[in-house]
Amino acid sequence: MNCEDLIAVILEYLEGSMTLEDVEAFEAHLRICAPCRAYLATYRKTKAMAADAGRVEMPDEMKERLRQFVLQRLAR
């Protein structure tokens, strides 16, 4: 496995949907590749932050501003 391969299957790795053989190849690459370890850590943190953001209620004023912005962009 190389860096490009790892990035292509990172979500499957995190979701636990890879075969044991693929997990072993993924983790073997991580052992020798610091940039991919950093990428995985960043990916995990981003995924967690996005999940947390989904739990915060957006203020009504912001919802309306966002709605207006999207409608303006769609009207182009």
Q: Which amino acid is at 62?
A: M
Taking the model in full, what pTM does it have?
Answer: 0.66
CA-closest candidate to residue 6, choices 54, 48, 18: 18
Please state the domain count of the chain.
1
Q: What is the pLDDT of residue 54?
A: 65
63: containing domain: 3-74
pLDDT along the chain (76 residues), means of 10: 94 95 97 96 90 76 89 84
